[in-house]
Chains A and B, each alone.
Chain A
Amino acid sequence: MKFIVTLLLMSILAFSACLFMPWWSIAITSFLVGVFIPQKKGIAFLSGFLSLFLLWLGLTFWISHQNNDILAHRISLLILKKDSPLLLMLLTALIGGLVSGMAALTGSLMRTFSSQK
Chain B
Amino acid sequence: MRFILLFLSAAVTSGLCFILDTQVLLPAPLGKLLSPQEGIWQNADPIDKNYSADLKFSDLKGKVDVYFDERLVPHIFAEQENDAYFVQGYLHAKFRLWQMELQVLSAAGRASEVVGEIAINHDREFRRLGMVYAAENSLQVIEKDEETKFALDAYTSGINAYVKSLTNSSLPLEYKLLGYRPELWTNLKTALFLKYMSFDLSGYENDFEMTNAKHYFSKSQFDLLFPSYQDSVDPVIPTNMPMAVAKAVSTAPLFADSIYFDFMKSTVAMSQEFNKPNPSNGSNNWVLSGKRTKSGAPILCNDPHLGLNLPSLWYEMQISVPQFNAYGVSFPGAPSIIIGFNDSCAFGFTNGGRDVRDYYEIKFKDESKQEYWFDSSWKKTTLRIETIKIKGKPDLIDTVAYTLFGPVMYDASFQGKYKGMNANYAVKWSAHDSTNEMKLFYLLNRSKNYLDYVRAARYLKTPGQNIVFACKNGDIAIRTQGKFPAKWKGQGDFIMPGFDSSYLWQGYIPADETPYQFNPDTGYVSSANQRPVDTTYPYYLGRNYPLARGLYLNRALSQTYNATASDMMKLQLSNYDIFASMAVPLLLQNVNDSFLNSNERKYLSELKKWNYSNEAQSIAATFFQIAWRALKDTVYNDEYAMAPPFTQKPYRSTLLEALLKDTAYLFVDDIHTSKKETLQEISMAAFKKAVVKCDELAMENKLQWGYYKDTRISHLLKLPSFSVSELFIGGGEDVLNASQSDHGPSWKMIVSLTSETEAYGIYPGGQEGNPGSYYYDNAINSWAEGKYYKLWVMKLSEKNDSKVKWTMHFDSKN
Instruction: List chain A positions with a Cβ less than 8 A from chain B.
Output: 15, 18-19, 22-24, 26-27, 31, 56, 59-60, 63-64, 66-68, 70-75, 77-79, 88, 91-92, 95-96, 98-99, 102-103, 105-106, 109-110, 112-113, 116
Q: In the complex, which residues of chain A have a beta carbon less than 8 angstroms from the beta carbon of B12? A: 102
In the complex, the answer to whether A63 meets B41 with C-beta atoms within 8 Å is yes
CB distance from A82 to the nearest CB of B (A): 11
Q: What residues on A are CB-neighbors of B773 within 8 Å? A: 70
| A2 vs B812: C-alpha distance when bound (angstroms) | 53
Instruction: Enumerate chain B residues within 8 angstroms of A31, measured Cβ to Cβ.
Output: 13
**B44 interface neighbour in A23, A70, A110, Cβ under 8 Å:** A70
B31 on interface, CB distance cutoff 8 Å: yes
On whether the beta carbons of A113 and B2 are closer than 8 Å, the reply is yes
User: 11 A-B residue contacts at CB 8 Å?
Assistant: A64-B44, A67-B47, A68-B47, A70-B774, A71-B173, A74-B771, A95-B20, A95-B34, A96-B35, A102-B12, A102-B16
B9 close to A106 (CB less than 8 A)? yes
The answer for the CA separation of A113 and B21 in the assembled complex, in Å, is: 29
Residue of A nearest to B167 (CB): A20
A75–B30 Cα distance when bound, in Å, is 12
Chain A CB within 8 A of B722 CB:
yes
CA distance A116 to B17 in the complex (A): 28
Given contacts A106-B13, A113-B3, contact A19 B37 (CB under 8 A): yes
B44 touches A71 (CB 8 A): yes
Assembled-state Cα–Cα distance A19/B168 (Å): 11
Whether the pair B13, A102 counts as a contact (CB closer than 8 A) is yes
Question: CB < 8 Å: which of B6, B37, B43 contacts A18?
Answer: B37
A75 to chain B, nearest CB (A): 6
- Flag whether B322 is at the interface (Cβ < 8 A): no
B21-64, CB < 8 A from A: 21, 28, 30-32, 34-48
Contact A66 B38 (CB under 8 A): no
Contacts of A113 in B (CB 8 A): 2-3, 6
B160 CB to closest chain A CB, in angstroms?
24
Q: What B residues does A109 contact at CB under 8 A?
A: 2, 5-6, 9-10
In this complex, what residue of A is CB-closest to B21?
A: A24
Q: Is the CB of A71 within 8 A of B16?
A: no
Question: Is B772 interfacial (CB 8 A cutoff)?
Answer: yes
B721 at the interface (CB under 8 A from A): yes
Within the complex, which residue of A19, A63, A105 is in contact with B9, where a contact is CB–CB below 8 Å? A105
| Residue in A18, A24, A64, A72 whose beta carbon sits within 8 Å of that of B17 in the complex | A24
Q: Give the number of residues in B that approach A within 8 Å (Cβ atoms).
A: 44
Most buried by B among A18, A106, A116: A106
Q: Which residues of B contact A (CB under 8 A)?
A: 2-3, 5-6, 9-10, 12-14, 16-17, 20-21, 28, 30-32, 34-48, 168, 173, 177, 719-722, 771-774, 776
Chain B contact residues: helix, strand, loop or mixed: helix
**If the complex has contacts A31-B13, A71-B43, A106-B6, are A60 and B774 also in contact, measured as CB distance less than 8 A?**
no
Contact of B41 among A60, A103, A116 (CB under 8 A): A60
> What CA separation (Å) do A91 and B41 show in the bound complex?
13
Query: Could you tell me the distance in whole angstroms from the C-beta of B144 to the nearest C-beta in chain A?
Result: 45
- Chain A residue with minimal CB distance to B42? A63
- CB of B41 within 8 A of CB of A110, answer no
Known: A19-B37, A71-B772, A106-B9. 18 other contacts (CB 8 A): A22-B32, A22-B168, A24-B31, A60-B36, A66-B48, A67-B45, A68-B47, A70-B772, A71-B173, A78-B719, A78-B722, A79-B28, A79-B30, A95-B31, A96-B35, A102-B13, A103-B13, A113-B6
With a cutoff of 8 Å between Cβ atoms, the chain B residues found around residue A102 in the complex are 9, 12-13, 16
Chain B residues with Cβ under 8 A from A75's Cβ? Answer: 40, 721
- Given known contacts A66-B46, A67-B772, is B39 in contact with A23 (CB within 8 Å)? yes
Cβ A59 vs Cβ B40 within 8 A: no
Given contacts A60-B36, A71-B771, contact A95 B6 (CB under 8 A): no
- Measured CB to CB, the closest approach of chain A to B297, in angstroms, equals 42
CA distance A68 to B46 in the complex (A): 8
Tell which of A23, A56, A91, A109 has the most Cβ of chain B within 10 Å.
Answer: A23
Interchain CA distance A95-B28 in the complex, whole Å: 13
Closest CB of chain A to B288's CB: distance in Å? Answer: 41
Closest to A81 in B: B721
A-B contact count (CB 8 A): 121
Q: Which residue of B lies closest to A26 (CB)?
A: B35
Min Cβ gap A37→B in Å is 17
Q: How far is the CB of A13 from chain B (nearest CB, A)?
A: 13
* A67 with B37, Cβ < 8 A, contacts A24-B31, A102-B12, A106-B13 known: no
Name B14's closest neighbour in chain A (CB-CB).
A27
CB-defined contacts of A66 to chain B, threshold 8 Å: 44, 46-48
Chain B residue with Cβ nearest A45:
B9
A74 touches B30 (CB 8 A): no
Is the pair A64, B41 in contact by a Cβ cutoff of 8 Å? yes
Chain B residues, Cβ within 8 Å of A74? 721-722, 771-772
Q: Which residues of the partner chain B approach A27 to less than 8 Å between Cβ atoms?
A: 13-14, 16-17
Instruction: Check A56/B36 contact, CB under 8 A, given A70-B773, A102-B9.
Output: yes
Are B46 and A67 in contact, with the CB atoms below 8 A? yes
- The interface residues of chain A lying within 8 Å CB-to-CB of B168 are 22
Cα distance A106–B335 in the bound complex, in angstroms:
55
A19 contacts across to B, CB distance below 8 A: 37
Bound form: Cα–Cα A25–B776 in Å:
32
Q: For residue B34, which residues in chain A have a CB less than 8 angstroms away from its CB?
A: 88, 91-92, 95
Please name the residue on chain A nearest to B717 by beta carbon.
Answer: A78
Separation in Å of the B47 CB from the closest CB of chain A? 5
CA distance A67 to B16 in the complex (A): 30
Q: When chains A and B are docked, how far (Å) is the Cα of A74 from the Cα of B722?
A: 6
Which A residues lie within 8 Å of B36 (CB)? 56, 59-60, 63, 92
Q: What is the CB-to-nearest-CB distance from A74 to chain B, in angstroms, rounded to a whole number? A: 5
B31 pairs with A68, CB closer than 8 A? no
- B9 to chain A: closest residue by CB: A106
The 10 closest A-B pairs by CB, nearest first: A23-B35, A71-B772, A77-B721, A67-B44, A71-B44, A66-B46, A59-B36, A18-B37, A102-B13, A109-B6
Instruction: Tell me whether A110 and B13 are in contact (CB under 8 A).
Output: no
Q: Which of the residues B38, B177, B722, B776 comes within 8 Å of A23, measured between beta carbons?
A: B38
Interface centre among A56, A70, A98 (most CB of B within 10 A): A70
Check B774–A68 contact: CB distance below 8 A.
yes
In the complex the two chains form, what is the Cα distance from A56 to B37 in whole Å? 9
**Residue among B12, B37, B46, B721 with the most chain A CB within 10 A?**
B37
A70 to B173, CA, bound (A): 13
Question: Complex Cα distance A68/B44, Å?
Answer: 9
Q: Are B41 and A92 in contact (CB under 8 A)?
A: yes
B40:A71 contact, CB within 8 angstroms? yes
Residues of A within 8 A of B20 (CB): 24, 95, 99
Which one of B9, B10, B32 has the greatest number of beta carbons of chain A within 10 Å? B9
Judging by beta carbons under 8 Å apart, are B35 and A18 in contact?
A: yes
Known: A102-B9, A109-B6. A63 touches B44 (CB 8 A): yes
Distance to closest chain B CB from A27 (angstroms): 5
Chain B residues, CB < 8 A from A18: 35, 37-38
Of A56, A98, A110, which contacts B16 at CB under 8 A? Answer: A98
Closest to B5 in A: A109
Task: Assess the A23–B46 pair: CB atoms within 8 A.
Answer: no
Q: What is the bound-complex CA distance between A23 and B168, given in angstroms?
A: 10
Contact A77 B16 (CB under 8 A): no
A64's nearest neighbour on chain B, judged by CB, is B44
Q: B36: nearest residue on chain A (CB-CB)? A: A59
Distance between A1 CB and nearest chain B CB, rounded to angstroms: 26
The interface residues of chain A lying within 8 Å CB-to-CB of B776 are 70
A114 closest partner in B (C-beta)? B6
Bound-state Cα–Cα, A24 to B46, Å = 26
Closest CB in chain A relative to B776 CB, distance in Å:
8
B40: which A residues are within 8 A, CB to CB? 71, 75
Residues of the B chain whose Cβ atoms lie less than 8 Å from the Cβ of A77: 720-721
* Residues of B with C-beta under 8 A to A56: 35-36
**Could you tell me the distance in whole angstroms from the C-beta of A89 to the nearest C-beta in chain B?**
9
A72–B39 alpha-carbon span in the complex (Å): 12
Contact partners of A24 in chain B: CB under 8 A: 17, 20-21, 31
A92 to chain B, nearest CB (A): 4
